[in-house]
Amino acid sequence: MSRRSGILEFAVLGLLREAPMHGYELRKRLNTSLGVFRAFSYGTLYPCLKTLVANGWLIEEPGSAPEEALAASLAGRRAKIVYRLTPEGKEHFEELLSHTGPDAWEDEHFAARFAFFGQTEREVRMRVLEGRRSRLEERLEKMRASLARTRERLDDYTLELQRHGMESVEREVRWLNELIESERAGRDQRSGTDAPARHDNDSGETGGLPRHGGSTRPDPSDDTAK
């Protein structure tokens, strides 16, 4: 299985854990809710759904009332199929949610993982966030070293592009620091310590995100951060 298809399967299982959907609804949610899937097509989604059905993680059900399905058949149209998560599929998704290895820190996979942080245990969220921060700090160090070596050979526009890329990574590191602080504050509140409550919207296992006012969080799938 390719990394891309693995991310797609993860996202489909996560969305169907929320509610059963038919293919068009799934594609719309993947496009609008998960930026990493902005460019994928039906030709990618339906083989993924068939694989998940074959694995026993999804089942297909008629998506219309019997009379509507009959009308679609008489009109030569295909009746909509609704995909529902099976108990085995839910268990598999929960196993995937608990994974905190290096794949969870990479650009595309991190964006998909972050989209389902509301369904993820706090300690797992912490490990993924800290892993992502470590990966970006390593990337930033390499970018700075490369820029120091090549600065004199770069024209102004190439140099500005390099600086822009570094600023994007630095911005995401700052964002991750805020998220990690927030998760730690929420954990301290639950454990009964005297840590100050920094965020009003911390709700136990679902955590509390930092308030940014009018600022914009970096998109983990932003190409400039790669």
User: What is the predicted pLDDT for the residue at 41?
Assistant: 65
| 178 vs 173: CA distance, rounded Å | 9
User: What is the predicted pLDDT for the residue at 27?
Assistant: 87
In the chain, the DSSP E strands lie at 21-22, 58-62, 81-85
Block residue for tokens 């914009």: 216
pLDDT digit string (tens) for the chain, length 226 residues: 456 678 889 999 999 999 999 988 998 888 877 766 666 666 788 899 999 999 999 999 987 555 445 555 545 556 689 999 999 999 999 999 999 988 888 887 898 899 899 999 999 999 999 999 999 999 999 999 999 998 888 899 999 999 999 999 999 999 999 999 999 987 766 555 444 433 333 334 545 565 554 444 565 545 444 4
| 69 vs 62: CA distance, rounded Å | 8
pTM above threshold 0.75 = no
Distance between first and last Cα of the chain: 23
Phi/psi at 120 (nearest 5 deg)? -110, 140
